[in-house]
Amino acid sequence: MFEVIEKSGSDWRVAPNLRDYDALCRSFDWSSERQSLAGLPGGGLNIAHEAVSRHVAEGHGARIALRHVGRDGAVSSVSFAMLDEAASRFANILESLDVRQGEAVFSLTGRVQAFYSAALGTLKRGAVFCPLFSAFGPEPIRARLEIGRGACLVTTRTLFQRKVAQILDSLPTLRTVLLIDGTAEDERERIRSLPRLMEAASGHYRTAATSREDRALMHFTSGTTGRPKGAVLVHDAVVAQAATARYALDLHRDDVFWCTADPGWVTGMSYGVIAPLVSGATSIVDEMEFDADRWYSIIESQKVSVWYTAPTAIRMLMKVGAEIAHKYDLGSLRFLASVGEPLNPEAVVWSKQTFGRPFHDNWWQTETGGIMIANFAALPVKPGSMGKPLPGIEAAIIERTAQGIRVIGEPDVEGELALKAGWPSMFRGYLGEDERYRKCFADGWYLTGDLARRDRDGYYWFVGRSDDVIKTAGHLVGPFEVESALMEHPAVAEAAVIGKPDEVAGNSIKAFVSLKAGCKPGAELERDLMAHARRRLGPAVAPREIAFRDNLPKTRSGKIMRRLLRARELGLPEGDISTLESDERT
Ligand code: ATP
Ligand code: MG
């Protein structure tokens, strides 16, 4: 259907970090990757030291770590030395507030500079950092602070007044709230002004002597399939985050890197903060949300070379059309990558046509802490495939059996995606859910809950989350396949597919579709879409019903929530929807 996108060596403007995939897979070991990091002067490992202090100690403090684009478009630069100093001040503040090693510091803020000093300062202190998405309402915030036993929260005055003040009394472990834009007048019991404390604090801090296995981060999952889970990562995660930035994102020190994820999600932390800083690259931080013109103008003016975004954003760019992209000089772009949801092959082909470069899909989860499967700069891209496992990562397609699991050796068979446990950024627990954590592992493998298949060339293809897969008339149908076929139709902007109980077939396939601007829903378009789907997929897999929607329900991180569509369709309880993108609950 879609041709493999071959890349020739001569196309390389910068030689990729990973040129021979098979050779690196053979020679790779995590301990040599660990050795490329500095380590703490007295032994041990600390993410903040690798991210900022190390560069300063090595004489690179003047290099630009962040280029912050404010709401009004004004750009301010933060050097590694400035960031290191701000993090030290924050660590001193935590110490003065008696926030101890291992205690949790939460943030509830957008992409502001204080977020970076809080995250890195918390790690320097040896405390555990947990970012929250700032559009959450009071209840999801309260629940997460309670589960994670937050001792300190960093937020803004507005967010505090709107969302936190009302829940403060129900959070006895939360001893201090630091207001990023607070003043002396805001200060009262448990509430402090961060600027006042920052001004008074020393800019020197001796980083806590954390070890590889000490807790560093907590991240709540997106809640696509149910109640969000709190995954715990340790300082050793930085080994995998640095290695994957080098090999999967092809990040070089001279790159201008833009990870568009919100800092409230794991991508925003692993690849929005840690990985680019450790690599010594310059990161773009845009305070605003998605806007096609704004994004293209940032790429043009900031000369972004590596861009890491999500399918939902790419589909929005496709929806507004390639003409907008052509108004800008996007020639600085060298490597484009995507994560978070399956990337429809249509989007990869569109990107090649529009930017002259394909998006490289990669796959990972909050639980994996870093990229696990990727399309690499030096390998051909197969549109619709998530690529090959990172060197150092052993992936397999498995089947759960009564005895444990069976690894499926032969190619092109669908099964659950599993990863051999033990890579450095693997989660070390779910907050308060030990049994659930244990159940994720069998015979030394971590079971991801996603279904996939591996082809003869070793590329992995996403089929669906195990909860979303549809059994119809004896077939197992992954919603992604049906959605991607619908997306090929010129009128379709987004599609979501679910199974609906059916007496004859077990389940029948229903598609929800949102249309591109200027396309009108109606019986004629429905017939046309049905015919297109039958042609592409065959009658057994094509949807039996198509419903038009202005927008599809999505998680706060932009993922289509099929479980909610299914629950609404069947009149079932909607479960936890605290992570829903629209403001229905929050
Ligand atoms: P929850 O676990 O709470 O239901 P979630 O799984 O969406 O939410 P995340 O950890 O943010 O939370 O997302 C990881 C999941 O996102 C993966 O398990 C997979 O289902 C999906 N995903 C991520 N990247 C890709 C990709 N490249 N292709 C297909 N699916 C992807
Ligand atoms: Mg998940």
Q: Is the pLDDT of residue 578 over 70?
A: no
Distance 196 CA to ligand 1 centre (A): 40
Q: Which residue has the higher pLDDT, 81 or 403?
A: 81
Dihedral angle sign, alpha carbons of residues 274, 275, 281, 286: negative
Instruction: Give the residue numbers spanning the domain of 106.
Output: 44-51+76-235
User: What's residue 577's pLDDT?
Assistant: 58
Counting ligands in written order, the one closest to the CA of 466 is 1
User: What's residue 9's pLDDT?
Assistant: 62
- Closest C-alpha residue for ligand 1 atom 27: 363
User: What's residue 504's pLDDT?
Assistant: 82
Whole-model pTM?
0.93
HSE-up (13 A, CA, CB side) for residue 479? 30
User: What's residue 473's pLDDT?
Assistant: 80
Mean pLDDT of 57-67: 98
User: What's residue 583's pLDDT?
Assistant: 39
Note whether residue 462 is domain-resident: no
Note whether residue 354 is domain-resident: no
366, 468, 483, 557, best to mutate for ligand 1 pocket (most atoms within 8 Å of CB):
366
**Where a domain ends, among 195, 213, 235?**
235
CA 488 to chain centre: 25
Model confidence band, residue 105 (pLDDT cutoffs 50, 70, 90): very high
Task: Among 26-30, 132-136, 411-415, 427-431, name the one with the lowest average pLDDT.
Answer: 132-136
Note whether residue 38 is domain-resident: no
Model confidence band, residue 148 (pLDDT cutoffs 50, 70, 90): very high
Q: Is the pLDDT of residue 575 over 90?
A: no
Cβ neighbors of 531 (< 8 A, separation 6 or more) are none
Distance CA 239, CA 422 (A): 12
**Tokens standing for residue 154:** 């960093």
Note whether residue 121 is domain-resident: yes
User: What's residue 1's pLDDT?
Assistant: 64
The total of other beta-carbon atoms located within 10 Å of residue 196's CB is: 16
Check: CB of residue 150 under 8 Å from CB of residue 174: yes
The pLDDT tens digits of the residues spanning 431-447 come to 999 999 999 999 999 99
- Closest C-alpha residue for ligand 1 atom 16: 340
Note whether residue 395 is domain-resident: no
Establish whether residue 221 lines the binding site of ligand 1, counting it when its CB lies within 6 angstroms of any ligand atom: yes
Distance 77 CA to ligand 1 centre (A): 33
**Tokens standing for residue 174:** 């939360």
Mean pLDDT of 224-235: 86
User: What's residue 210's pLDDT?
Assistant: 98
The total of other beta-carbon atoms located within 10 Å of residue 270's CB is: 28
Residue whose tokens read 């502001």: 112
Give the number of the atom of ligand 1 that is nearest the alpha carbon of residue 367: 10
Distance CA 2, CA 380 (A): 13
CATH number of the domain within which 552 lies: 3.30.300.30
Q: Is the pLDDT of residue 275 over 90?
A: yes
Establish whether residue 262 lines the binding site of ligand 1, counting it when its CB lies within 6 angstroms of any ligand atom: no
Distance 312 CA to ligand 2 centre (A): 17
CATH number of the domain within which 88 lies: 3.40.50.12780
Distance 564 CA to ligand 1 centre (A): 16
Q: Is the pLDDT of residue 71 over 50?
A: yes
- Closest C-alpha residue for ligand 1 atom 18: 365
**Tokens standing for residue 317:** 């760019």
Distance 363 CA to ligand 1 centre (A): 8
Task: Among 4-13, 185-194, 228-237, name the one with the lowest average pLDDT.
Answer: 4-13
341, 385, 388, 460, best to mutate for ligand 1 pocket (most atoms within 8 Å of CB):
341
Mean pLDDT of 514-542: 92
Q: Is the pLDDT of residue 305 over 80?
A: yes
Q: What is the mean pLDDT of the chain?
A: 94
CA 463 to chain centre: 19
User: What's residue 297's pLDDT?
Assistant: 98
User: What's residue 11's pLDDT?
Assistant: 66
147, 224, 459, 462, best to mutate for ligand 1 pocket (most atoms within 8 Å of CB):
224
Distance 336 CA to ligand 1 centre (A): 19
Q: How many domains does the chain have?
A: 2
**Where a domain ends, among 192, 217, 235?**
235
Contacts 24+ apart (CB under 8 A), 25-31: 25/391, 28/391, 28/392, 29/392, 30/239, 30/240, 30/243, 30/392, 30/423, 30/424
Establish whether residue 214 lines the binding site of ligand 1, counting it when its CB lies within 6 angstroms of any ligand atom: no
Establish whether residue 365 lines the binding site of ligand 1, counting it when its CB lies within 6 angstroms of any ligand atom: yes
Check: CB of residue 395 under 8 Å from CB of residue 419: yes
The pLDDT tens digits of the residues spanning 451-476 come to 999 999 999 999 999 888 898 887 78
Note whether residue 3 is domain-resident: no
Establish whether residue 468 lines the binding site of ligand 1, counting it when its CB lies within 6 angstroms of any ligand atom: no
Distance CA 557, CA 222 (A): 7
- Closest C-alpha residue for ligand 1 atom 1: 223
Give the number of the atom of ligand 1 that is nearest the alpha carbon of residue 362: 27
**Where a domain ends, among 215, 235, 255?**
235
Distance CA 572, CA 242 (A): 43
Mean pLDDT of 87-115: 97
Counting ligands in written order, the one closest to the CA of 360 is 1
Give the number of the atom of ligand 1 that is nearest the alpha carbon of residue 220: 3
Report the SS3 class of residue 132.
Answer: strand
Mean pLDDT of 342-360: 96
For residue 51, report the phi and psi dihedrals to the nearest 5 degrees: -75, -40
Give the number of the atom of ligand 1 that is nearest the alpha carbon of residue 366: 10
Note whether residue 264 is domain-resident: no
Note whether residue 556 is domain-resident: yes
